[in-house]
């Protein structure tokens, strides 16, 4: 995780407000100032088949708030706990694909940015289950063109403590985005369901939990590299037969 200058718990609550686990949907709009890095998350019309999103009306409902139903909780009494906020991770708010350096402006292939985030939560069998929606845009640079572009994303839930950030749960995934011959940009959407972690004790510690979203090209590059071939073990030298000169 990238460090420096992330907001503390009191600042985050003051900016975004408390979100309780209930049948409500919260939108974290970057334009509204409810993000840590001041830059946003992927966006796309969920039903845009031309760009290969393969979405459905449920995606649009999730971001518009027209479907305000939280995931089903387990039977029995559930604790009244806070839903962790979702924010853009500082230092991972922009994706740049293409060579870097003095001539990067003309050799840039694609640039990605975030537009908005959304999340809701449910308590299931002692675990917090988060559903996180990510919207963003991929812009074609001077050296880019039509085709499929894989956008690497990571969600990391952390607990912010006075001594630093404590990892809680993380997930890396690739979102394929298809650009047509006449597309200068494309919107994309991903909804991650079932990101879960055990409820802390006491549950008030959830006030210090944050789900950070960011681009992760380093993990994507690591996945694309072939696994190293194990070196063959040298054969042991054979011992000379008894009585040989």
- Along the 245 residues of the chain, how does pLDDT read in single tens digits? 433 333 443 334 333 334 444 332 333 333 233 333 322 333 332 223 222 223 344 566 776 653 333 333 443 445 678 899 999 999 999 999 987 555 567 889 999 999 999 999 999 989 999 999 999 999 999 999 999 999 999 999 999 999 999 999 999 999 999 999 999 999 999 999 889 999 999 999 999 999 999 999 999 888 877 766 677 677 777 666 666 55
Q: Is 232 inside a domain boundary?
A: no
Q: Is 235 inside a domain boundary?
A: no
Q: Is 119 inside a domain boundary?
A: yes
Q: Is 244 inside a domain boundary?
A: no
Checking phi first, is residue 222 left (phi over 0); if not, alpha (psi -120 to 50) or beta? alpha
Smallest CA-to-CA distance from 192 within 130, 114, 141 is with 130
Contact (CB, 8 A) for 67 and 191: no
CA-CA distances (angstroms) from residue 195 to 37, 121, 165, 177? 22, 10, 19, 23
The boundaries of the domain holding residue 144 are 9-224
Q: Is 74 inside a domain boundary?
A: yes
The two tokens of residue 15 are 């900016």
Q: Is 4 inside a domain boundary?
A: no
Give SS3 for 219.
Answer: helix
State how many domains the chain has.
Answer: 1
Q: What is the pLDDT of residue 242?
A: 62
CA-CA distances (angstroms) from residue 34 to 5, 9, 11, 171, 233? 15, 13, 11, 22, 56
Q: Is 141 inside a domain boundary?
A: yes
Q: Is 172 inside a domain boundary?
A: yes
């Amino acid at each position: 995780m990238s460090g420096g200058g992330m907001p503390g718990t009191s600042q985050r609550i003051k900016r975004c407000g408390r979100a309780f686990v209930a049948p409500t949907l919260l939108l974290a709009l970057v334009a509204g100032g409810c993000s840590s890095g001041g830059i946003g998350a992927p966006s796309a019309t969920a039903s845009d088949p031309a760009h290969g999103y393969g979405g459905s009306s449920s995606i649009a409902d999730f971001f518009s708030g027209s479907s305000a139903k939280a995931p089903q909780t387990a039977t029995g009494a559930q604790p009244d706990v806070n839903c962790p906020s979702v924010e853009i991770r500082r230092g991972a708010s922009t994706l740049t694909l293409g060579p870097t350096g003095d001539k990067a402006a003309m050799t840039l292939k694609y640039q990605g940015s975030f537009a908005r985030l959304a999340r809701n939560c449910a308590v299931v069998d002692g675990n917090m289950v988060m559903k996180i929606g990510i919207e963003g845009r991929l812009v074609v640079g001077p050296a880019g063109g039509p085709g499929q572009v894989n956008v690497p994303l990571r969600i990391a839930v952390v607990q912010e403590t006075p001594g630093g950030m404590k990892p809680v749960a993380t997930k890396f995934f690739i979102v394929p985005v298809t650009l047509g011959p006449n597309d200068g940009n494309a919107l994309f959407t991903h909804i991650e369901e079932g990101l879960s972690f055990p409820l802390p004790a006491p549950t008030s510690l959830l006030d210090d939990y944050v789900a950070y979203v960011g681009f992760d090209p380093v993990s994507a590059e690591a996945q694309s590299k072939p696994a190293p071939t194990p070196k063959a073990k040298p054969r042991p030298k054979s011992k000379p037969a008894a009585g040989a000169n």
